[in-house]
Amino acid sequence: MAETLSLAALRELPDDAAQREQALTLVVEGMHCGNCMRKVERTLQAIPGVVAARVNLSNGRAHVTTTSAGVEIETLVEALVGVGFKAYELVEGATPAHTTHDAAYLRRLGVAGFAASNIMLMSVAVWAGIASDMDASLKTLFHWLSALVAIPAVAYAGQPFFQSAARALRARQLNMDVPISLGVLLAMGMSLYQTIRGSDHVYFDAAVTLLFFLLIGRYLDIAMRSRASSAAQNLLGLRATAATVMLPDGTTQRLPTRDVLPGMRILVAAGERIPVDARIRTGIAEVDESLITGESRPRRVEPGDTVYSGTISVAGALETEALAREENTLLADISRLMGAAEQARGRYVRLADRAARLYGPAVHLLGLGTFIGWMLLGYGWEPALTAAVAVLIITCPCALALAVPAVQVVASGRLFRNGIILKAADGLERMAEIDTIVFDKTGTLTIGEPRLVDGSAIDHRMLARAASLAASSRHPYSRAIVAAAKARGITVIAESEVEEVAGAGLGHVAASGETRLGSAQFCEIAGAPPESGSTIWLRTPDGGATAFHFSDHLRADASEVVGRLRDAGFHVEILSGDGRAAVAEAAQAVGITDWQAELKPADKIARIDALKGEGRKVLMVGDGLNDAPALAAGHASLSPASAADISQTAADAIFQGERLAPIIEALLVAHGARRRALENFGIAIGYNFIFVPLAVIGLATPLIAAIAMSASSIAVTGNALRLSRQRLGQLLGRMS
C-alpha cells in the first residue's frame, strides 16, 4: 500500500473473510465423557448451514465451521440446550471456564465433606454396634439430625449432577449424571422414608459420602484435563491486547488489537509485543521470535522485513504497516492448525468412539438385567435397585472415551513446545510406524537459504530480469536472486502472470517472447556444462542464457541427526532435484549412501512408491511447497517451513528453526504417544473387567462404583500427562 489509509477509510474496507466459510467457538458446559462429546457434535452438525463441528473435551469447547451465510449463535445454543447442554459463545479475554468450574466444585466439595464427616460422627453408634443399646427416641433424633444436615448439603453439593441430569431428561436423553443423580436421590429418599418409619436402615451417610467422592473425582478430572489442555488454547494468550496506531495527521491512538486493520501504521516500542503481522517501514531492531521459530536467538530486522504477531521487539523501536487482521495473523493460523489436530479423529480415537457407541446400549441393558436378576432371586426391590445403580455408575465409558484424546492433546502440546506443529489427526500414529526416512536436500538437510556465488559477475540487466521473475516465487533460489539484486541496488518489481512449474522453474510470456528461469532442461539450454554445484539458468526471448550458481550450508546438526536415525535402525535416503555434484557433496557430509539427484516431483513419487512396494513405511521430510506431491505420497510427512509458509504446507507436521533435532523429537513423541494410548486402552478395559462383575453381583456399592469410575478417568488422564515431561530417549533404540 503506497499510502496509509485513514482510520475511517480502513474501517470500510471489505472483509474477504466474510466471503469464506466462517468459524466460531462455543463454550459448552456439562460435557464429561465421550458420549457427551459425540452428542454435541451430532447436534451441531445437524443444523442447516453448519459445515463441520469438532469438540475439544479437554477445554470444553466446540469449534463450529459454518457456510459463508453463517448461522446465528442463538440457533446453535438453543440446539445444544435442547439436548441438555448449556452453551455460549467464547469471549476473548473472559475467565477460562475451567477456572470458574474449579472454584465452584471446590466449594461444593467442601460442603459435602463437612456434611459427610458430621453425619459419620452421628452414625458411629449405629456402625459400632451400640445401636441396640440406644434408646429408640435418641436413635431417631440422631437420624433426624443426620437428615437435617444431609438434605441441604445434597441439595447444594449435588447441583452439578442434578442440573446436568435434568437437562438431559428434558431433552429425552441420558447421560452419565442421570444414574449418579438417581443413586444419590434414591439413597436420600429411602433414608428419609426409613427415618419417618423409625427404622434402623438409613443411608444419609452413604448418600453424602457418595456425593463427596463423586465431587472429588469430578474436580480432579477437571483439574487434570486443564493441565492437559490445548497448547493452542493458551497460545493466543500471548498476543498483544492493544496497539499504538499512527493516524494520518501524525497523532497516535491506542486501539484494541482486534480493531487493527491492514494498512494501519503501528508503532512498536522496545520491549513490546508486535500486535499483528506487519512489514517494517522504519527502524532497526532485534526481535525475539522464539514463539514462532523455536529459536532463542533474536533476529535482526530492518525496513522491508516482515514481523509477526506475538513476537517481541527486544531492542529498538519500529514503525510498521499492518498486513493482516488479528484473526488472520500467523499466530492465529498456528493456533487453528493445532486446535484442528487436537480435535480431529485419528484411527485410535475412531476405534475408541466406535467401542463407546456400542458400550452405551450394553451398559443400560446390563443395568436392567442386574435389576431383574436380583428381583428374580428374591432379594427385593431395594438391593436390586442399589446393584443396578452401581452397575450404571461403574460402567460409564469415560475412561475409554478419554483414553486417546487425552494423549493426543498432551502430545500436541509437547511437540509445540519443541517447535513442532502437528496438523494431521493421525499423523503421530503413522509416524510411529515408519521405518524409512527420505530427505529432500535444499531447505531440509540444508538451511534453505542459498546464496548467489557469483552475483557480482552477472550482468546487471540479467540479474534485474531474473529478480523480476524470482520475486513471484518462494523458492530458496528465487529468494537468493532477489536478495542479490537488492544488494546491488536494483529495485525489484515483481513481474505479473509468472507461472511456476514445481521442480522445474518459472516462466513468463510477453510480446517479445518467453523468459524462463530454472533448470537447464526447463530452460532448454543445449550443451549446458556439467554442474559443479547447484545451478539454474535464465533464458531470455533472444536465446541468451545466463547461469546462476548457488551454495548452501548444511544444518548444524544434520550429520548428528542422520547418524542417530541410522543407529536407531532407519533406512535413510536423499531424493533431490538439485544437481548430482551438490547432492553428492551433501550426502557425503551427513553420511547417507543412498541418494538420487536431478529428480522431478514425479520421480520422487515413483521412488517412494517403490519403497512402499517393498513393504516400507516412508517418512518424507521436505519443503512443504515444492515437495507437496512427495509429502502426500509418504506414509507420514514432516516439513521444515519458514514462518510465512506455515499454513501452506502439505505435511502432517511442521517443524520450526534451523535444526533437524525436531525430527527426532517428533518420532520419539509418536512412539511415546502410541505407548500411552495402548496403556490407556488397557487401563479402561482392565477397570471394566474387574469392577463390572463386582457391581453385578453386589460387591461394589454405589459408593465404591463412584470411586472406581472417577479413579479410572483420572488414571487415563494422568497416564497421558506422563508424556508431557517424560524423557523419551530410551525409545530411540526401539524405533526400528
Mind listing the pLDDT tens digit for each residue in 524-533? 887 666 554 4
Average pLDDT, integer, range 3-9: 36
Residue-wise pLDDT tens digits, 184-241: 787 788 778 778 877 766 667 777 877 787 777 667 666 655 554 544 555 555 677 7
Does residue 572 carry a pLDDT above 90? yes
Cell of residue 13, nine digits: 474496507
Cα–Cα distance between 706 and 219 in angstroms, integer?
A: 13
Instruction: Tell me the per-residue pLDDT of 155-185, one tens digit each, with 9 for 90 and over.
Output: 998 888 888 778 777 777 666 677 677 767 8
Confidence of residue 354 (pLDDT cuts 50, 70, 90): low
Question: How much is the average pLDDT of 352-381?
Answer: 74
Topology of domain 21-94, per CATH? Alpha-Beta Plaits (3.30.70)
pTM of the predicted model, to two decimals? 0.61
Provide mean pLDDT across the span 11-21. 43
Among 103-117, 131-145, 338-352, 412-426, the range with the most confident prediction by mean pLDDT is 103-117
Question: Over 80: is that where the pLDDT of 578 sits?
Answer: no
Query: What average pLDDT does the segment 394-406 reach?
Result: 68
Q: Residue 3 has which C-alpha cell? A: 499510502
Could you tell me which of 516, 460, 452 has the C-alpha nearest to residue 489? 460
What digits encode the pLDDT tens for the residues 618-648? Answer: 998 987 556 767 787 888 888 886 544 554 5
Q: What pLDDT, on a 0 to 100 scale, did the predictor assign at position 571?
A: 92
Q: Reply yes or no on whether the pLDDT at 685 is more than 90.
A: no
> Half-sphere exposure of 22 toward its Cβ, with a 13 Å CA cutoff?
15
Q: Choose the catalytic residue: 277, 440, 552, 578.
A: 440
- Per DSSP, helices labelled H in 377-503 are 381-394, 398-417, 427-431, 460-470, 476-487
The arithmetic mean of pLDDT across residues 402-416, rounded, is 77
- State the pLDDT at residue 330: 75
Give the homologous superfamily in CATH for domain 451-551.
Calcium-transporting ATPase, cytoplasmic domain N (3.40.1110.10)
Rounded-to-integer distance, Cα 434 and Cα 664, Å:
13
Give pLDDT, residue 17: 39
Of 724 and 124, which is predicted with more confidence?
724
188 contacts 150 by C-beta, under 8 angstroms: yes
Most confident region among 118-122, 378-382, 487-491 by mean pLDDT: 487-491
Q: Taking the C-alpha atoms of 392, 394, 396 and 401 in order, what is their torsion angle to the nearest 10 degrees?
A: -160
Res. 271 pLDDT band, cuts 50 70 90: confident
Inter-axis angle of helices 159-170 and 177-197, nearest 10: 110
What is the number of H-type helices and E-type strands within the chain?
23, 26
Tell me the mean pLDDT in the region 594-611: 85
Question: What are the boundaries of each domain within the chain?
Answer: 21-94, 240-328, 451-551
Split at pLDDT 50, 70, 90, the class of 570 is very high
Q: What is the pLDDT of residue 9?
A: 38
What's residue 419's pLDDT?
A: 78
When the pLDDT of each residue in the chain is averaged and rounded to a whole number, the result is 76
> What digits encode the pLDDT tens for the residues 281-316?
888 888 877 666 555 567 788 888 888 888 888 778
Instruction: Identify the top-confidence range among 7-16, 489-498, 585-594.
Output: 585-594
| Residue 652 known to be catalytic | no
- Residue 606 — very low, low, confident or very high, per pLDDT cuts 50/70/90? confident
Span 490-507, pLDDT tens digits: 888 888 888 887 767 888
**24 pLDDT more than 50:** yes
> Would the pLDDT of 128 be above 80?
no
**CATH number belonging to the domain at 240-328, selected among 2.70.150.10, 3.20.20.70, 3.40.50.300, 1.10.10.10:** 2.70.150.10
- Rounded to whole angstroms, how far apart are CA atoms 655 and 419? 6
